[in-house]
């Protein structure tokens, strides 16, 4: 058992390129190896539940590993990257109008939003879209993800989440907050005319 964990540790620390390691095992002697890897997968088997308890993910048979990686892992990585970007977008959209409004009210601390509007905003724009996305968002079918393994490379090459995608989400949040504030300011008070 110690040799298996040492081998995973050696790969994590010595191989050029800083690879992500995955260890898979089905018995108690694999538990230390599973815990040493970045991602641990335990197989429920005859040897008990020790490997499954030590693992990040548990599967019933080894043949389910392909589906776990190429289908569910890919879908999860894509969904998580959207959730992170959306969280930044939503927070910029919520907070920046407050900053703009504080300038126009002389930094007096007067709230822009009523408390029930904040609660509704957080429910309508935080919980529900992400819940719907998590349930229904599938860019390709499971069968197609298994037939075209190169789709998995998009995650490895950081196409779903990188600095530029995050900057894009933040830029959209800033742009939409400016447009929202200017629209509401114009509707409620009229466009400010010059002196």
Give the pLDDT confidence of 168-178 residue by residue, as tens digits: 999 999 999 99
Rounded CA gap, 177 and 101, in Å?
11
Look at residue 156 and tell me whether its pLDDT is greater than 70: yes
Look at residue 35 and tell me whether its pLDDT is greater than 90: yes
pLDDT tens digits for range 63-111: 999 999 899 989 988 988 988 898 899 889 888 998 998 888 888 888 8
Per-residue pLDDT, averaged over 129-145, amounts to 86
Per-residue pLDDT, averaged over 36-61, amounts to 89
Tokens of residue 131, six digits: 């819940």
- Residue 24's H or E segment, with its range, is strand 22-25
Look at residue 195 and tell me whether its pLDDT is greater than 70: no
Q: How confident is the model at residue 187 (pLDDT cuts 50, 70, 90)?
A: confident
Q: Give which of 38, 74, 84 is closest to 154, Cα–Cα.
A: 74
Region of residue 25 (phi > 0: left; psi between -120 and 50: alpha; otherwise: beta) = beta
Q: Looking at per-residue confidence, does 1 or 83 come out higher?
A: 83
Q: Are 145 and 67 in contact, with CB atoms under 8 Å apart?
A: no
Rounded CA gap, 140 and 138, in Å?
6
Q: How confident is the model at residue 163 (pLDDT cuts 50, 70, 90)?
A: very high
Give the per-residue pLDDT at 192. Answer: 59
Q: Give which of 123, 106, 107 is closest to 115, Cα–Cα.
A: 123
Residue 44's SS3 state is: coil
Rounded CA gap, 8 and 38, in Å?
9
Q: Is the pTM of this model over 0.85?
A: no
Distance set, CA 72 to CA 35, 63, 79, 161 (Å): 21, 14, 10, 17
- As a whole number, the mean pLDDT across the chain is 88
């Amino acid at each position: 058992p110690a040799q298996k964990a040492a081998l995973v540790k050696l790969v994590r620390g010595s191989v050029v390129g800083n690879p992500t390691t995955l260890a898979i095992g089905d018995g108690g002697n694999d538990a230390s190896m599973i815990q040493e890897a970045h991602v641990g997968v335990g197989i429920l088997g005859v040897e008990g539940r020790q490997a499954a308890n030590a693992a990040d993910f548990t599967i019933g048979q080894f043949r389910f590993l392909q589906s776990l990686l190429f289908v569910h892992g890919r879908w999860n990585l894509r969904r998580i990257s959207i959730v992170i970007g959306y969280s930044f977008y939503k927070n910029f959209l919520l907070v920046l109008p407050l900053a703009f409004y504080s300038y126009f009210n002389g930094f007096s601390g007067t709230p822009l939003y009523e408390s029930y509007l904040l609660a509704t905003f957080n429910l309508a724009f935080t919980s529900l879209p992400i819940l719907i996305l998590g349930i229904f968002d599938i860019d390709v079918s499971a069968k197609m993800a298994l037939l075209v393994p190169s789709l998995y490379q998009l995650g490895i090459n950081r196409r779903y989440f990188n600095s530029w995608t995050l900057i894009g989400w933040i830029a959209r949040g800033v742009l939409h907050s400016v447009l929202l504030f200017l629209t509401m300011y114009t509707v409620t008070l009229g466009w400010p005319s010059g002196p």
